[in-house]
């Protein structure tokens, strides 16, 4: 797989053949080759795709079985201390101490991170809490927090020490729409001069925040491109057609159906095809269409697969099911 | 320098969490109530024994060993899960992502546990002298109470804090520790029947040797009360063993934590 000229920032993370096999023989990630540059990077994939494993490996919290990865100049196998020093990490699942207040919990983590000066800790905690809109409840015990508030405490602890590298695993899970919008803005602001790796299965988050992304499926990187390139890769192949309910199974058999909306006169199907069915009208391709296309585990029938997927975008790289296919029209 | 600060950070916040839990205060209440009951006239049927309450040595030698014995049984429930809890609560990933500081982490956890056990018997420093003042009508000597705390209570707490933390963490499940431990705790009650003093000191972790030699032996004849005669060397051997075993257990805990933190593969626990 080769990398498209997606970003202008310096390469911050490089992985080569990164593999994690859990005992017994459960593949977490397999042969991940990635180059990630400064800025927001999105890792998109369905549940169980290997996103969390990759995040934990990059955060040096999980040892890879094979392969190498470097963050800046540091090796994840040997330079744990240096990497964790510049790391802000939010795990997918984490707990908080119910008997501590939000302020105390952040103070505890700030001390553990090595922020010695009490005044500086106070300033950092205040800033982190105000960024996630929790300053008013700073002295409330964490045991009384809702899921969304806990998630925001998790985000705040990741920002405490102004890290150069932010790894956020499903950061918007559990946030209400208002907080999600706020968080997207915050991440866009933060990612100016640092690397932010964000994993999610919420396409909208990546679309709103990231300039570069990869789709991971069954432990492998299926495609690595910018969201725009990804959307372009299926442009002109997304159609909307209204069919009677009885025709649904036939349509699903013949085409890659991306969405179904029930209407008065039947079912409006959103589908991906080179040659559309009769009566279909073209529609604008979205990142979600592209995501669904690349993560469908079963390959759609040959005629409906966008045969021009590789030549669509210059230097778009596609690696699916262990094979690597490179764009070649440019 | 950073590690020293981290150690104090872990100790301070762990202790804070401990002191804020209801379970801790229930144990504090039980232990102190039991110790004061043992050291009070309620525990003596004969009026002839009332003269004993004139001695601070006697009251300290009753209250603190009683507190030690009960705390040996209940205290482990407060301590054993301190490291495993971070796995079940899933705070461990957050902590590990902050750096690599296994020694500060493990020592902080242990220090907070030990301190919480030490603080638990503070009410005895008021309650036990009050009994002497009220029943014995004699001047209170602070020395015996402090000595009982230092010689009888502390070595035992040193042992059970390290034992509970290390064994439960290593077992990976607190229940695997509690059951065998409670058997050992119960067997400790029979240590006075062990004939050889040297062997007796190995199975004795409730401070009985020091109590007999330094406290109860000062007030009347031990032999007349059916207690074995103990020597000063028995006391030294007993306390030395408790400190030595605690040191070994703490060393094993530090090694285990260092291995876990350096291996970059956190042990996973089922979320609570």
A112/B98 CB distance under 8 A: yes
With a CB cutoff of 8 Å and minimum separation 6, the contacts of A78 are: none
Residue A2's pLDDT is: 36
Q: Is the pLDDT of residue A181 over 70?
A: yes
pTM over the 0.80 mark: yes
Per-residue pLDDT band for A293 (boundaries 50, 70, 90) equals: confident
Residue B101 in contact with partner chain A when CB distance is under 8 A: yes
- CB within 8 Å: B89 and A80: no
Ordered by start, the domain boundaries in chain A are 11-226, 231-311
Q: What is the mean pLDDT of residues A58-77?
A: 93
pLDDT digit string, tens, across residues A260-279: 999 888 899 998 888 888 88
Kindly list the domain boundaries of chain B, sorted by start residue. Answer: 2-263
Statement: residue A29 has pLDDT above 50: yes
Q: Give the ipTM of the model, two decimals please.
A: 0.86
pLDDT of residue A323: 32
Q: How far apart are CA B235 and CA B224, in angstroms?
A: 20
Q: Chain B: residue nearest A20 by CA?
A: B265
pLDDT value of position A264 = 84
Record: contact A99-B96, CB cut-off 8 A: no
Tokens standing for residue B240? 């030395």
Which residue blocks in chain A are alpha helix, DSSP H?
51-58, 80-85, 102-113, 118-131, 147-159, 177-190, 203-209, 227-232, 248-254, 287-295, 309-312
Query: What does pLDDT average to over chain A?
Result: 84
Q: How far apart are the first and last CA of chain B?
A: 34
Residue with tokens 């309650």, as numbered in its chain: B127
Which neighbouring-strand residues pair with A272?
A238, A256
Walking along chain B (272 residues) 10 residues at a time, the average pLDDT comes out as 89 96 96 93 72 84 92 92 93 92 95 97 94 85 92 93 93 88 77 65 75 77 66 84 93 92 63 45
Domain A231-311: give its CATH architecture. 2-Layer Sandwich (3.30)
- Rounded to 10 degrees, what is the CA torsion of A146, A147, A148, A154? 110
Phi, psi of A320 (to 5 degrees): -125, 135
Q: Does domain A11-226 have CATH number 3.40.50.970?
A: no
pLDDT for res A4: 45
The reply to whether B90 touches chain A by the CB within 8 Å rule is yes
B contacts of A89 (beta carbons < 8 Å) = 93-94, 97
What is the least distance, in Å, from the CA of B249 to any CA of chain A? 24
| A-chain residue closest to B86, CA distance | A95
Among A85, A95, A99, the residue with its CB nearest the CB of B99 is A85
Residue A9: pLDDT band with limits 50, 70, 90: low
Average pLDDT over every residue of A25-42: 91
- Beta-carbon separation of A109 and B93 below 8 A: no
DSSP class of residue A141 equals: B
Contact A242, A271 (CB under 8 A): no
Query: Cis before residue B58, ω within 30 degrees of 0?
Result: no
The whole-number pLDDT of residue B195 equals: 64
| Contact check, Cβ <8 Å, B6/A154 | no
């Amino acid at each position: 797989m080769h990398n498209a000229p997606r970003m202008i920032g310096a390469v911050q993370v490089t992985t080569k053949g990164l593999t994690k096999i859990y005992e017994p023989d459960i593949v977490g990630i397999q042969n991940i080759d990635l180059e990630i540059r400064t800025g927001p990077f999105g890792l998109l994939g369905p549940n169980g795709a290997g996103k969390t494993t990759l995040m934990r490996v990059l955060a040096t919290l999980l040892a890879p079985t094979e392969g190498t990865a470097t963050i800046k100049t540091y090796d994840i196998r040997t330079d744990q201390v240096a990497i964790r020093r510049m790391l802000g990490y939010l795990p997918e699942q984490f707990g908080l101490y119910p008997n501590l207040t939000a302020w105390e919990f952040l103070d505890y983590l700030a001390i553990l991170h090595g922020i010695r000066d009490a005044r500086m800790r106070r300033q950092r905690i205040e800033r982190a809490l105000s960024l996630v809109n929790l300053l008013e409840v700073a002295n409330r015990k964490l045991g009384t927090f809702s899921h969304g508030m806990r998630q925001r405490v998790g985000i705040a602890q990741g920002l405490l020490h102004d890290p150069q590298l932010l790894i956020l695993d499903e950061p918007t899970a559990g946030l209400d729409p208002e907080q999600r919008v706020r968080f997207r803005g915050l991440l866009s602001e933060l990612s100016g001069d640092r690397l932010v790796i964000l994993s999610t299965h919420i396409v909208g988050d990546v679309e709103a925040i990231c300039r570069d992304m990869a789709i991971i499926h069954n432990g492998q990187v299926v495609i690595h491109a910018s969201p725009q390139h990804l959307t372009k890769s299926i442009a002109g192949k997304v159609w909307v057609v209204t069919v009677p309910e009885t025709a649904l199974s036939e349509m699903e058999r013949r085409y890659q159906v991306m969405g179904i909306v029930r209407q008065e006169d039947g079912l409006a199907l959103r589908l991906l095809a080179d040659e559309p069915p009769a009566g279909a009208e073209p529609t604008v391709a979205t990142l979600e269409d592209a995501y669904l296309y690349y993560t469908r585990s079963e390959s759609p029938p040959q005629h409906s697969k966008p045969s021009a997927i590789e030549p669509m975008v210059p230097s778009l790289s596609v690696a699916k099911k262990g094979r690597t296919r490179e764009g070649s029209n440019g | 320098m950073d590690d020293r600060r981290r150690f104090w950070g872990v100790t301070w916040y762990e202790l804070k969490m401990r002191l804020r839990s209801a379970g801790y205060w229930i144990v504090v209440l039980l232990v102190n109530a039991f110790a004061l009951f043992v050291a009070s006239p309620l525990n003596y049927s004969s009026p002839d024994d009332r003269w004993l309450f004139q001695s601070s040595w006697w009251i300290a030698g009753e209250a603190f060993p009683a507190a030690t014995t009960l705390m040996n049984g209940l205290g482990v429930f407060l301590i054993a899960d301190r490291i495993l809890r971070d796995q079940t609560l899933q705070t461990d990933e957050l902590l590990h992502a902050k750096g690599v500081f296994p020694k500060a982490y493990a020592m902080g956890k242990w220090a907070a546990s030990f301190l919480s056990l030490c603080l638990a018997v503070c009410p005895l420093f008021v309650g036990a002298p009050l009994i002497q003042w009220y029943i014995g009508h004699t001047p209170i000597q602070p020395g015996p109470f402090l000595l009982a705390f230092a010689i009888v209570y502390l070595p035992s707490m040193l042992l059970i804090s390290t034992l509970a933390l290390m064994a439960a963490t290593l077992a990976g499940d607190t229940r695997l520790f509690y059951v065998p431990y409670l058997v050992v705790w119960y067997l400790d009650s029979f240590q006075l029947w062990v004939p050889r003093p040297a062997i007796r000191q190995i199975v004795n972790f409730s401070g009985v040797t020091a109590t007999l030699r330094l406290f109860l032996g000062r007030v009347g004849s031990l032999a007349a009360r059916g207690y074995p005669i103990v020597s000063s060397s028995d006391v030294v051997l007993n306390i030395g063993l408790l400190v030595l075993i605690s040191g070994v257990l703490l060393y094993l805990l530090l090694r285990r934590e260092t291995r876990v933190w350096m291996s970059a593969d956190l042990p996973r626990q089922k979320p609570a």
